[in-house]
Structure 1
Amino acid sequence: MKTVHLLLATAVSVLSGSATVYAQSSKIDEFKSWPQGTSPKEIGDRIAARFVASPHAGFNTARPPKVIIYPETCAWYGALIFAKQTGNKMLTKQLAERFEPLLGSQDTLIPVPDHVDYTVFGAVPLELYMQTKDPRYLKIGKTMADKQWGPPEGKRVTAESHRFYDKGLTWQTRLWIDDMFMITAVQAQAYRATGDQKYINRAAKEMVFYLDSLQQPNGLFYHAPDVPYFWGRGDGWMAVGMSELLRSLPKNNPNRERIMTGYKKMMATLLKYQAEDGMWRQLIDDPASWKETSATGMFTCAFITGVKEGWLDKKVYAPAARKAWLSLIRYINSDNDITDVCEGTNKKNDHQYYLDRKRNTGDLHGQAPLLWCATALLR
């Protein structure tokens, strides 16, 4: 009899222990428990340090650029928000020092804000202003945001520029999905820096126009109206653009519900196309296309933000985001450069064109989303 009692007691003990372990494991936050060397803080520190040590980057070339181009802007912005989130004052100082020559002898590196890819640069000085309170940064960033909605001017103005301007949209509208990060980022930053709702209202109106023009019934986006392909990074700009905009868009904004609907529809479809290992592909719906890191980083950031903000079901999207992050960072090499980044890409109505794009290493199109993801995970 004693033996029976002992066996029963042991069984109860084991079952209780199992229940305790299960209860504890079920409470583990997918965004807080990381294998050694994979945490967002560790990865963010590595990628930010790599950026600080890097020279200004050209576009698909090793030559120094004549002006700062948008991939560097995106990585610079990413490093700044990571520094803020982690309280790394030294990193903020280093990133401000990188800007200092642009306030003097190298001011020609500041792009003329006459195109979405150049105007987005304003997001960097606006972030520097919010972290340092130096009014020089505010002046530059605010000027760029204002010129984006001012009267069309400069050599890039076309008849379409006036048509869009007359509709209350930015004259820089061109209906490429890339724009929905480039435009909304600088306008959202201007709102965050000044508190003036005109900036975020502009961005929301523009986003709805792009949603109505480019989002397909499955929730994804063609690169442009005349390019019917679901290019990974192009859709990535859209995913991050929507999630970043919604993060700051006031709840009473009349366009918020429309944008949220478009965002959730896209997220649901992206979930279906996520590969078994957590990655996404160069052409999202083509299982034969290669796995691409910049798009994966952007989609991961959009998932993380949606879970953190309570827009997406945590039970569904948090594990998917975790899987994506852990898969994505395996592409980082010993130099802290991410591999398999699609090179800078114009639109083209040619399926093979997208499949044949060069796979770069250390391209800032891919480095930037790593910093965005790290920040979003820590936020």
Structure 2
Amino acid sequence: MQLLDRTIMEQHIDKLILQMKDLKSSIDESCPIGIISMDNWEWPQGVGLFSLYLYYKETGSPQLLAYLVEWFDKRIAEGLPPKNVNTMCPMLTLSYLYEETQDDKYLQICKEWASYVLEEMPRTVEFGIQHAVSGQLNEGQLWDDTLYMTVLFVARMGVILENERYIQESIRQFLVHLKYLTDPVSGLFFHGWTFEGRHHFAKALWARGNCWYTAGLVDYLEIVELPQGVQDFLISSLERQVSALQDLQADDGLWHTLLDDSTSYKETSATSAFAYGILKAVRKGYLDPKYKSVGLKALQAAIGQIDENGVVQGVSYGTGMGLTLQAYKDIPVCPMPYGQSMALLGLIEGLKHV
């Protein structure tokens, strides 16, 4: 395997960030709230903002901090969208930005949105967070996206407010989601579960849905101190997942958008987030060092998908719950903010391994 080069990686990072801020696409948007432009407030922008914050913490760049402050101030002035699982995603970065700036208006917004999660957000049976999103209530449904988009923020607010109720709620959501979304055969995660009909829809082992756990868990474990038994359970679930991923990784280091279907196209955003989560888990001691080669191979593959302008290719558009496996194969491929940001996450972690 070709060794990673720090200088080249940093050059990629600069280009990724530049393109993320002003991404263009020819695709017709299908989501009620735009998910391509960084000028909107939705989950793709939330993932992008968090990756920029992590790089700011790595570099101390005042330009990155200024961009984050400007982005949030503009969106707040415009008026925030209705609260749901996906629009909650930018709040994670805002909670960190509050700590950086001590701007009370950020804290008040975070408190309001966190309170909504606990007091008003729709719930399924067993009190799981219903995956209600912009334009769709998805009654009775649990999706693996929810842990990353909403639950990490809930845990953060438990820490900031020193409120154990938020922390315990975050634990409950991880346990409920793993209970219903884990495939006991492979250790991978189904995209969703519905209590209305009690099934896993198409039984899709969707790559990006899986990567929300791989990337999200390592950050969750940094956010909050968990009871040892809970932490051990979550890490063992990660190890089972990564063991299965190792077996399904293509020779070029990428993973298919349906992890267990080699006829589905290979997908870069999930590969990047798998690289981030696996490498960070190894570095933190959560996973056996033998998995480092899996993460490095994935990172090399993701780097190979960055074009000369810094645009990440091979990224699937926003993906709703598929009723057939073919639906996942038919999702269009185009540059997306989360393609940029997930590659950025992988590169940021990769810098710690060179």
Name the structure 2 match of 1:352: 326
Name the structure 2 match of 1:285: 260
CA distance, structure 1, for counterparts of residue 325 and residue 75 of structure 2: 40
**Aligned counterpart in structure 1 of residue 16 of structure 2, from 47, 55, 78:** 47
Name the structure 2 match of 1:231: 206
CA distance, structure 1, for counterparts of residue 38 and residue 86 of structure 2: 14
Alignment of 1:165-180 (within 5 A): 167=126, 169-170=128-129, 174-180=141-147
Alignment of 1:1-379 (within 5 A): 34-35=4-5, 37-39=7-9, 41-54=10-23, 68-104=41-77, 106-107=78-79, 110-113=80-83, 115-152=84-121, 161=123, 164=125, 167=126, 169-170=128-129, 174-217=141-184, 218-224=186-192, 225-252=200-227, 254-314=229-289, 316-361=290-335, 363-378=336-351
Q: Secondary structure of 1:175's partner?
A: strand
Aligned pair in 2 of structure 1 residues 46, 142: CA closer, same or farther (>3 Å)?
A: farther
CA-based RMSD of the aligned residues comes to 2.8
Aligned pair in 2 of structure 1 residues 53, 131: CA closer, same or farther (>3 Å)?
A: farther
Amino acid at match of 2:253: G
The answer for unaligned runs of 5 or more in structure 1 is: 1-29
Contact 2:282 2:292 in 1 (8 A): yes
The answer for unaligned runs of 5 or more in structure 2 is: 133-140, 193-199
CA distance, structure 1, for counterparts of residue 229 and residue 166 of structure 2: 14
CA distance, structure 2, for counterparts of residue 338 and residue 66 of structure 1: 19
TM-score, normalising length from structure 2?
0.84
Q: Secondary structure of 2:81's partner?
A: coil
- 1:47-105 deviation digits (Å, cap 9, x = unpaired): 223233459x966669979951110111011111111122112211122112222232x
- Which structure shows the bigger proportion of residues in helix conformation? 1
Query: Taking CA–CA contacts closer than 8 Å with sequence separation of 6 or more, which of the two structures ends up with the larger relative contact order?
Result: 2
Name the structure 1 match of 2:197: none
Between stretches 327-336 and 205-214, larger displacement belongs to 327-336
Contact 2:268 2:313 in 1 (8 A): yes
Contact 1:122 1:142 in 2 (8 A): no
CA distance, structure 1, for counterparts of residue 221 and residue 338 of structure 2: 22
Contact 1:78 1:372 in 2 (8 A): yes
Q: Secondary structure of 1:373's partner?
A: helix
- 1:2-32 deviation digits (Å, cap 9, x = unpaired): xxxxxxxxxxxxxxxxxxxxxxxxxxxx99x
Contact 1:111 1:118 in 2 (8 A): yes
Displacement, 1:177?
1.2
CA distance, structure 1, for counterparts of residue 190 and residue 47 of structure 2: 22
Name the structure 2 match of 1:19: none
Contact 2:131 2:143 in 1 (8 A): no
Between stretches 261-270 and 137-146, larger displacement belongs to 137-146
Q: Secondary structure of 2:272's partner?
A: helix
Contact 1:47 1:371 in 2 (8 A): yes
Aligned pair in 2 of structure 1 residues 48, 226: CA closer, same or farther (>3 Å)?
A: same
Aligned pair in 2 of structure 1 residues 59, 333: CA closer, same or farther (>3 Å)?
A: farther
Between the aligned residues of both structures, percent identity stands at 23
Larger C-alpha radius of gyration, 1 or 2? Answer: 1
Name the structure 2 match of 1:21: none
Q: Secondary structure of 1:205's partner?
A: helix
